[in-house]
Amino acid sequence: MKTVTRTWFVTGASKGLGARLVRKLLDRGDRVAATSRTVASLTDAIGPASSHFLPLQVDLGNDGSVESAIARTIEQFGGLDVVVNNAGYAQQGTVEALSDDELRRNFDVNVFAPLTVLRHSLPYLRQQRGGHVINIASIVGYHGGYAGWGSYVASKFALAGLTESLAAEVGELGIKATVVYPGPVRTEFLSSGALAVAKRQIDAYTEAKASLDLHLGTLHGHQAGDPDKVAMLIMQAADVADPPLHLFAGKVANELAAQKAVAVQRDIDTWKGSCEATDFAE
């Protein structure tokens, strides 16, 4: 468990889960560099800069901005221990309704921004032979059966795959990697600009429309997940010597993950003979 004060770098920290995590880290005495599109949004949500808190205005889509933020963090706090890629947003819309710009922007924020953060933080973690990367995905990045959310689902699957590959890549250097799959969490996520709806909608796809109505109407404000408890779970995972690679947050996430495992195993068992027959004969 945690015995020393550590330095965290957390993206998307001005609201939602990111803000809750930063506040809890500061409360227990850790050092935190937090990013958002404006410093004001961070200080309004968390408080003024201090010896333990460094609010940073960062454009996660700009390589130089991210590089500068990582450098400032190490300069201010003398090191870097935990990197949390939390920034992201949901893009709704059937696959053929989404424009190229909508798809690419979703992947820019949800996939390429975390990659940029990692490209600039990993050299330092490699040098010190230690650290922990925590990527915040979603249960949709493991259980993908959500009509009308293909772009968001695909981006979170990509982030999960990246985390698995990273764990294999840097494990021998003492660097840990964890992908977090929260279920529905009761934050401002669905009402704060973190949900984008495709400009072009196809009315015929009733399942996709029903899913959007559920998220905006029935689900918002009634999500089962407690963001403070999810933040504490992330901290707990970062505090142990052998953290999980896959971390499912909430009963919904765990139940859906179990359903996915059953469904995949069923397909494997049903098609095993035909699939194995595609190998060259011995």
Catalytic residues: 152
Residue 36 dihedral angles phi and psi, to the nearest 5°: -160, 180
Q: Which of 84, 81, 79, 102 lies closest to 149 in space, CA to CA?
A: 102
- Is residue 81 within 8 A of residue 132, CB to CB? The reply is yes
User: How many residues make up the chain in this entry?
Assistant: 282
Q: Using CA atoms, how far apart are residues 265 and 258, in angstroms rounded to an integer?
A: 11
Pairing of strands 53-57, 31-36: parallel
- Any bridge partners for residue 132, and if so which? 82, 176
Separation of alpha carbons 232 and 24, rounded Å: 8
Gap between the Cα atoms of 104 and 68, Å rounded: 24
Separation CA 186–CA 251 (nearest Å):
14
**Residue matched to tokens 């764990």:** 167
Q: What is the DSSP letter of 188?
A: S
Please tell me the distance from the alpha carbon of residue 172 to that of residue 129, in angstroms, as a whole number: 9
Half-sphere exposure at residue 90, Cβ-oriented, CA atoms within 13 angstroms: 24
> According to the 3-state scheme, what is the secondary structure of 44-86?
HHCCCCCCCEEEEECCCCCHHHHHHHHHHHHHHHCCCCEEEEC
